[in-house]
Amino acid sequence: MSPERLTDLHDGWLLAEAPEGLDGPALAALPAEAWLAAAVPGTAHGALLAAGRIPDPFYGRNETEVRWVAERRWVWRLAFEAGELSAREELVFEGLDTYCSAWLNGERLLESENMFVPRRVDVRERLKPGRNELLLCFEPALARAREVEAIHGKRQLWNGDSARLHARKAQYHFGWDWGPELITCGPWRAVRRHGWSARIDELHCRSELRGRTATLSISAGLEGAGERCVFELLDPEGVCVATQTVPAARGAGAELSVANARLWWPRGLGEQPLYTLVARVLGGGQVLAERRLRAGLRTLRLVQQPVDGEAGSSFHFEVNGQDFFAGGANWIPDDNLLERITPARYRERVAQAAAAHMNMLRVWGGGIYEHEAFYEACDEQGLLVWQDFMFACGLYPANEAFVASVRAEAEAAVKRLRHHACLALWCGNNEDYMLAESAGLAGPGVPAERFEARAIYERLLPEVCAALDPDRPYWPGSPFTPGDGAKSSDATVGDRHSWEVWHQQMLPYQRYGDVQARFVSEFGMQSHPSLALLESALPEAERFPESRTVQWHNKAGSAAGPDGHRRLAVYLADNLRVGPTLAEHVYATQFVQAEAMRVAYQDFRRRWQRPGARAVGGALVWQLNDCWPVTSWALIDSSGAVKPAWHTVRRALGVLAVAVRLEADGARLAVMNGAAAAVEVTLQLRVFAMDGRLLAEAGLTQEAPASSCVETTLGLPRLEEPVVAELLALDPGDGRELARDCAWTEPFKFYRLGGAHLDIAVEGQSLRLSCDLPVKGLWLEREGLVLDDNFIDLVPGVERRVRSRVALPDSLLATAVDHPGRTFNLPKGGG
C-alpha cells in the first residue's frame, strides 16, 4: 500500500498540425520540424500565438486571419517517464475541448465529445515504468458539429453557427454579440497522472442548521485498500471542531455536528466564515488518500410569495432566514483563450464585483462551468452564484446521444460545484424558452412537447440536481415563467430579461422605471472599452469612431447585420452633443451607460420595498466583464479597467443608498437600506442652477427599516431652468455623508455645461475636487489609477474628496460633460 500521488502532466508537450487520415502512432511519427512547444492546459490558438505563428486574434480584424486554425486537426504529444508504478494508475483529463481521441503508447484510451466532462482512464496495464508517450488528437469542432447537424437537422438560434447546438462545447467560442468567433481546441483543463492504492472518489456533505447547531451529513466514495476513514471538520482558523472515524468501506459516511456554528452570509449582511472538511483514508499506519473541501454553513431559499397589492408572486432569495435584494451581474468567460485566465485574475475580477457592492453573479449559459478559483473567490467574498447549465439562445436537440452526453456533463458539474457556499441556484438554460416562444414552439396554446429541449430543462437536469444536490433550488431557464403556456416575458412571476432598453423597442434609459419584472436577470447598455484598450486593438489609421475596425469590435446585431453602432448612435443622439474624436466617443458612450445603470439599479432596487411586498427581488446587469477588446455591455473591459458605469452601480448598490428624481411638482426621494438593521438618516436636498445659484434647499429625517426601500417626495418651487439636485443622506449624529445621488434636468444635450472652473488638488492619498459651476460626470483617468470614487457630479462650493488606492500619479486626464479631456498636473501637498 502506498500513499496516492497526483501529478500534473503539464511540462514538455509538443503540438503539430495533424494531417487528415493520420491517427495515433502515425501522428507520433511526424517529423521533428512539425512540432512546436505547447502549454497544457492550453489551446492550439494559444500555442501558435506564443510561437508567433499567428497574429493576435484580438488586434484589428485578425480574427478572420486565424480562422484556418479552427479548420485543422491538431495533435498534442508528451513523452514522460513513469518511474515506480502504484497499485492503481489512472490518467485524468479534467477537460478536453472537444472532439478528442487520446492514445498511450500507441493504444487508444478514449474518445471525447464533451468539453465539460472530465475523463479518468485506468492505464495500469498500459503504463511502462520507463518512457511513455501520450497523444491527444483534436478534430475541428465546427466540422464535426456540422456532421452531426447534417444527421439531426438545422435548428434555430441566436448567435454563432447553427451547428454549435450539436456540440457540447462553450457556445461563445462560435462567436457572440460581444465576442469573436474563435473555435478553440485543446486540453483546456489539467491533465494528471493518479497513482494510488486507495482513493476518495466523491466527498460530499449536506449541512442542516437548527438554530446555531449545524449537522453535517458526510458521504465519501472510497476505492481500493485502506482500513479506516477519518473525517475532521476544521473551523475557519483550522481548529478541529468535530471528528469521526469509520471503517473504510465503499460508501463511508459520517455525521458531524457543530454547536454555535458561524454562519456564512452574502456580502453586506455578514461574514463568510468557511469550514474545511477533511477526509483521510488510513492503512498500514499511513495516510493513503486525502480530500478536503471548504464549506460555508448557511441556509438558502428561493422565495416566491405574494406581493402586496400586485399580481403574481415575488422572486427573491433568503439566506439564514434573512431576505435581501440580489444586486449583481452576469458573468461571461473572462477571455476567449481560457488557459490565460489565472486564479489571480479570477480573484481580481470577483473582487471588482464585490467592490461594486454586488452580492450575486450569474454564470451565464453560453460560457463554461467556471474554474474552481472563481467559486472559491465567490465563497470568500460573499458573492452568491446563479449557475446556468451550458445552454444559450438555441433550440437544442434532445436525441439520445445528446441527452446522454448532457447527463454526464450535468452530473460532473453538480458533483464538482455543490459544496460551494456561494452556489445559490441551478438554472437550466439561457433564453431557450424565449427563443422557443419566438419560434412558436412554446407559449400560450402551444403543446409542451413541441419544444423538445424541455426533456433536458424540465426532466433531466432537475433529476440530476434532485439526486446529487437536493437542498439547492433549480430553475428551468432564464428567463422562465412557471405554468403551462406561460410567457417567459411575464413581469409578475419568475425572472425576466428586461431588454426594452437597448434591444426590442429601444426605450430611453430614463424609462427603466416603467420596465417591470419580479427579478431582472438581464438588462444592459453598451459602451466602448477604455480608450487605451480600444486604441491598442486598432491600427493607427482606424482610430476614429466610425472606422471599419471600431465597428468590427462591436459584435452586436442580428441576422440583419451588425447594429450595435446604430443603437449606440440613438442613445447618444437622445442625450448628448458628441465631439468627433474617438476619445469623445468613448466618454460619451461610457457616460450613457453609467447613467443608464444608475437609473436601472435605482428603479429596480426601490421596488424591493418591504417584507410582503418584494416586487423586485434582484437585478443582474448584462454583463460584468469582457473576453476581448470590444464595445459591449460590460462594466469592466478586458484589460480589467472599470468603466464609469462600475461606479454608478457601486453607488446604487451600496448597503445604504439614495436616489433622487426630479418631477414636475418636486423631487421623489428613495432611501435603500440593505442592512439587517434599521437606519435613520437626515436627507438634505439642494437644487442649483447651472450658473451656480442655490435655488432651493430642503431636508427631513427618514427612517429606513431593515432590508427595505422607502420613498418620499419633497415639494420644490417650479423650476423654469435646467438644474441639478443633490441629495445627501447624512448621519443624524455626526453629519457624516452616508450616501449621495444627483438628478439633473435632462437631456444634457439641450443646455451647455462647459466653462466651469475645476480644481483638482492633492491631499495625502486623496484628491480634493471643487468647482464654481455644476460639473456632470467628472471622469478622472490615468493608467493604473484606482480611485474609491469616480464619474462624480460636482456642485458649486462643495469640495469632494476621493481616495486613491495607489500612489497618486503626477498628472491625470479629467473629462466631464462639455469638458473635453484635459490633463491636470497634480501639485504635491494640497495645491
- Mind telling me the catalytic residues? 431
| Amino acid of residue 633 | W
| Amino acid of residue 425 | L
Residues in a beta bridge with 663: 666
Least gap, CB of 730 to ligand BMA (angstroms): 39
Residue of the chain from 232, 376, 431, 437 that contacts ligand BMA (CB under 6 A): 431
**How do the residues of the chain divide into helix, strand and coil, expressed in percent and rounded to 5?**
20, 35, 45
Closest to 673 (Cα-Cα) out of 717, 625, 706: 706
Residue with cell 460581444: 178
Least gap, CB of 146 to ligand BMA (angstroms): 22
Q: Which is nearer to ligand BMA, 48 or 170 (by Cβ)?
A: 170
Least gap, CB of 393 to ligand BMA (angstroms): 5
Give the three-class secondary structure for 2: coil
Helices then strands, counting H and E runs in the chain, come out as 16, 46
Count CB atoms within 10 A of the CB of residue 774: 24
Residues in a beta bridge with 221: 251
Least gap, CB of 444 to ligand BMA (angstroms): 22
DSSP state of 297: B
Least gap, CB of 394 to ligand BMA (angstroms): 10
Q: Which is nearer to ligand BMA, 430 or 551 (by Cβ)?
A: 430
Touching ligand BMA, residues 511-530 (CB under 6 A): 522
In residues, how long is the chain?
831
Touching ligand BMA, residues 366-405 (CB under 6 A): 366, 392-393
Q: Which is nearer to ligand BMA, 319 or 592 (by Cβ)?
A: 592
Binding of ligand BMA by 625 (CB under 6 A): no
- Phi, psi for 690 (deg, rounded to 5): -70, -15
Residues with Cβ within 8 Å of 405's Cβ and at least 6 positions away in sequence, in order, are: 113, 114, 117, 168
Q: Which is nearer to ligand BMA, 418 or 528 (by Cβ)?
A: 528
CA-to-CA distance for 402 and 494, rounded, in angstroms? Answer: 28
Q: Which is nearer to ligand BMA, 92 or 332 (by Cβ)?
A: 332
Least gap, CB of 266 to ligand BMA (angstroms): 23
Least gap, CB of 463 to ligand BMA (angstroms): 25
Binding of ligand BMA by 181 (CB under 6 A): no
Residue of the chain from 622, 688, 748, 791 that contacts ligand BMA (CB under 6 A): 622
Binding of ligand BMA by 177 (CB under 6 A): yes
Give the three-class secondary structure for 376: helix
Gyration radius (Cα) of the chain, Å: 28
Count CB atoms within 10 A of the CB of residue 724: 23
Q: Which is nearer to ligand BMA, 429 or 790 (by Cβ)?
A: 429
Q: Which is nearer to ligand BMA, 123 or 501 (by Cβ)?
A: 501
Contacts with ligand BMA: how many residues (CB under 6 A)?
Answer: 10
Alpha carbon separation from 815 to 90, 181, 487, 527, 581 (Å, rounded): 59, 34, 44, 16, 13
Q: Which helix (H) or strand (E) element contains residue 436? A: helix 432-438
CA-to-CA distance for 44 and 16, rounded, in angstroms? Answer: 9
Closest to 99 (Cα-Cα) out of 88, 87, 110: 110
Q: Which is nearer to ligand BMA, 226 or 367 (by Cβ)?
A: 367
CA-to-CA distance for 161 and 537, rounded, in angstroms? Answer: 25
Give the up-direction half-sphere exposure of residue 364: CA atoms within 13 A in the CB hemisphere: 25
Count CB atoms within 10 A of the CB of residue 552: 20
Least gap, CB of 330 to ligand BMA (angstroms): 7
Q: Name the residues that contact ligand BMA, by CB under 6 A.
A: 176-178, 366, 392-393, 430-431, 522, 622
